Amino acid sequence: MEERSEFIVVGGGAAGCAVTSKLLKANFKVTLFEAGYSNNNFLINWPAGFFKFINKSKFATYHKTKPQKHLYNRENIVPQANVLGGGTSINAQVYMRGRPEDYNEWNDILRVNNDNVDWSWDTLLPYFRNMETNSTFNNEHHSQEGPLQVSHCDYINELTHDFINSVATLGVEVVDDFNGENPQKGVGYYQFMNNKGQRSSAANAYIDPEKNNPNLDLRLNSTIKNLIFENNKVIGVEFVNNKGIHKKHFAEKEVILATGSLITPKILMLSGIGDEKELSEKNIKCLQHLPGVGKNLMDHPECPLIAKANGKYGYFKQGEGWRMIKNGLEFLINRTGPINSVGVEAGAFINPINSSDLSYIQAFFVPSIYMNADTIGVVDPDYGMSITTVMTKPKSRGYVKLKSSNYEDPPEINLNLLKHPEDLKMMVAGQRFFLKSLKQGPLGDKVEKIILPDQQNLDDEKIAEHCKKFVRTNYHPAGTAKMGADNDALSVLDSKMRVRGIENLRVCDMSAMPVINSGNTSAPAMMLGLRCGDFLTNDINK
Ligand SMILES: Cc1cc2nc3c(=O)[nH]c(=O)nc-3n(C[C@H](O)[C@H](O)[C@H](O)COP(=O)(O)OP(=O)(O)OC[C@H]3O[C@@H](n4cnc5c(N)ncnc54)[C@H](O)[C@@H]3O)c2cc1C
C-alpha cells in the first residue's frame, strides 16, 4: 500500500520541528523525516555537552570544505546536526534573535514581490516573543508563555565577571538583555535555550508536546534522497528508512524542505532543481532552471584569542577525575555548580571601527582554553581563557554544489571565508579590540601570557596572518536557497518560501535567508519554520 500523509516535512531540525508543530496545531497529518538519531541522550541534555559535539560524535555530520583560498588553503570542518532537534540539540544554546535592521533589510528586498509579504521586524517580533518562556524578562520584547525555555546561566565563573568588567573599561556599555530594547550592543551575560541545566531544543519545544498526537508520523534515521514529481508538482519523496530499505512516501498537499543550508540545496539539485548547466555536468535532467540553488552561501567567520591564566582560574580539569565526580554529584543532588554552565557565559557586540554605528563583531568568552581542530596541538591544555571574535555581517559568499548524482556523496562546500577584503579588515579590528580586554582591568590581572595570536611584533599584518591561520565557521551556514525579489535571477524562493516554478514545495530552514542575520541563528531558524507554518495553514484550507 502507498504511504501517504497530508504534509511531508524533510529534516527535524530547528526549522523543521517548528513548522511541523504549526501544521499539527492546524490539525493536519504530517510525516516528519529526520535522517539522524533520537535526541533522548544524556550528553545532549548536559549544558556543556556542546563541547563533546564539536570534533566527533554520531549526533553530527562533519562536512569538509574545499581548501579555503583566503585561509592559507586550510580545509574547514563544518559540523551539522544528525539528530532530532537539529542544531538546537547539539549547539551552545546561546539565545539570539538578530536585530531589527537584519529583517528590515529582508523586507526591503522581498516586498517588491507580487505577494507583498511583510518581513519587517515589527511583523517578526511576535514570532520571537511568542517562541519563548523567558525566566528573567516579561515585557514587550519577551514572553513567559512560549514553548522554548530561555534563561541566564545558573552558574557563572569568576573569569566571566572579569571579562565583562574588563570590556567595560574599554568604554563598552554593560547591558542586561541582548534581545531587548537596544539589541546586540554592549557587553553582558548571554541567555541560553536552557532551563535549570536542561537544554531546551526545537525538539523539546515543538515535538515533545506532540509525541502522542496521532497526526504526527515521526520517522527517525530516515534519509530523504530526492523529491518525486508529477510534471512540475512535487507529490512525494524517496527515502532510505532505518533498516536501509529504499521507499517512497507521498504528500497530498505539500513537501517542506528543512534539511539545513548544506543539504537542502543538495536535495533540490538531486531532484533536478538548480543550474541547468551544473546539473547536466552531473547527468541530472533539469526540471527547473534555478541558478541560485547552492549559491549565496554565507557563514559567520570566527577567530580565537587564547590566554594562559596566572592561577587556577576557569574550568580546566573541572570535567576530569574527582572534580568531575564532585561537580556531577552537586548537580544531581542540588542542581547547582559548574555543570549548569554551558561554558560560554558572556559576550559582547561592538563595532571596532565606528562605535556609534551598528555592531559588526560579536564576542564569546569561554573561561577555558578552547580546543578545536585548529587549536589542538598548537596550544597546550592549561588554566586559561578564550575570546572568540565573530563577524556578524560578512560580505563574502560561497557555494554548495553536487559532487555527483549519488545521494550518499556529501556536497562540495566552499565557504569562501574572508574572501571579501572588508571581512578581513573587520576581523583584524575585532581581534585588536578584544586583545585589549586581555591586557587591562580584572581580566588583565589574571593573564600570564597571551598565547594566540603570538604577541611578538604584533601589528595588523600579523593579526591578519593569525586570522587566516585560525578563522573557521561559527556553525551558521545560511542562504543557499534564498528568498528573493521576483526580478532577482538568483532567488530560489518567493517571499512565501515557495520554490519558484514548482508546485507544492517550500523551503523553511536557514537556506531561505536572503542575508544572514547578525548573531546566532537557532531562534531565526525556528522563526522561519513558524512563519512557513503560518503561510501553509493560511494558504491551504482543511
Ligand atoms: C556546533 C554548533 C554550535 C552552534 N551554536 C549555536 C548557538 O549557541 N546558538 C544558536 O542560536 N545557534 C547555534 N548554532 C546554529 C544553529 O543550531 C543552526 O543555525 C540551526 O540549527 C539551523 O537550523 P536549520 O533548521 O536550518 O537546520 P538544522 O537545525 O541543522 O536541521 C537540519 C536537520 O535535517 C536533518 N537532515 C539532514 N539531511 C537530511 C536528509 N537527507 N533527510 C532527512 N533529514 C535530514 C539533520 O539531521 C537535521 O536534524 C550552532 C550550530 C552548531 C552545529
Instruction: Kindly report the backbone phi and psi dihedral angles of residue 34, in degrees, each rounded to the nearest multiple of 5, phi listed first.
Output: -125, 125
Pick from 53, 32, 29: which is nearest to 41 by CA?
53
Model-wide pTM > 0.95 = yes
518 DSSP 8-state letter: S
Q: What is the pLDDT of residue 373?
A: 78
Q: Whose CA is nearest to atom 23 of ligand 1?
A: 14
CA of 284 to the centre of ligand 1 (A): 27
Distance spanning both ends of the chain, measured CA to CA: 24
- Pairing assessment for the beta strands 132-134 and 148-152 based on DSSP bridges: parallel
d(CA 261, CA 259): 7
Asked if residues 502 and 471 have their Cβ atoms less than 8 Å apart, the reply is no
How many angstroms does the Cα of residue 89 sit away from the middle of ligand 1? Answer: 8
The closest-lying atom of ligand 1 relative to the alpha carbon of residue 80 is 53
Q: Per residue of the chain (542 residues), what is the pLDDT tens digit?
A: 789 999 999 999 999 999 999 999 999 999 999 999 999 998 898 777 777 777 788 999 999 999 999 999 999 999 999 999 999 999 999 999 999 999 999 999 998 877 889 999 999 999 999 999 999 999 999 999 999 999 999 899 999 999 999 999 999 999 999 999 989 999 999 999 999 888 999 999 999 999 999 999 999 999 999 999 999 999 999 999 999 999 999 999 999 999 999 999 999 999 999 999 999 999 999 999 999 999 999 999 999 999 999 999 999 888 788 888 888 888 888 888 888 888 899 999 999 999 999 999 999 999 999 877 788 888 888 999 999 999 999 999 999 999 999 999 999 999 999 999 999 999 999 999 999 999 999 999 999 999 999 999 999 999 999 999 999 999 999 999 999 999 999 999 999 999 999 999 999 999 999 999 999 999 999 999 999 999 999 988 65
The pLDDT score that the predictor gives to residue 47 is: 73
**What pLDDT score does 542 carry?**
55
| Structure-derived torsion over alpha carbons of residues 108, 112, 118, 124, reported in degrees to the nearest 10 | -40
Q: Which atom of ligand 1 is nearest to the CA of 96?
A: 11
3-state secondary structure 285-328: CCCEECCCCCCCEECCEEEEEEEEECCCCCCCCCCCHHHHHHHH
Phi, psi torsion values for 106, nearest 5 degrees: -55, -45
Fold of 1-153+193-297+476-542: FAD/NAD(P)-binding domain (3.50.50)
Domain ranges of the chain: 1-153+193-297+476-542, 156-189+301-391+418-470
Given the CA of residue 510, which atom of ligand 1 is nearest to it? 26
Give residue 325's pLDDT: 85
Ligand 1: distance of its center to the CA of 438 in Å? 32
Ligand 1 binding pocket (C-beta < 6 A) is 10-16, 33-36, 53-54, 79-82, 86-88, 90-94, 96, 223-224, 258-260, 263, 475-476, 509-510, 520-523, 525
How much is the pLDDT for 372? 78
Half-sphere exposure of 397 (CA within 13 A, CB side): 11
**Angle at alpha carbon of residue 440, lines to 437 and 446, rounded to 5°:** 95
Question: Ligand 1 centroid to 75 CA: how many Å?
Answer: 20
377, 363, 380: which is closest to 474 by C-alpha?
Answer: 363
Query: Does the domain formed by 156-189+301-391+418-470 have CATH 3.20.20.70?
Result: no
Q: For residue 103, give every residue at least 6 positions away whose Cβ sits within 8 Å of its Cβ, in sequence order, or none.
A: 119, 120, 121, 124, 517
Residues 480, 294: contact at Cβ < 8 Å? yes
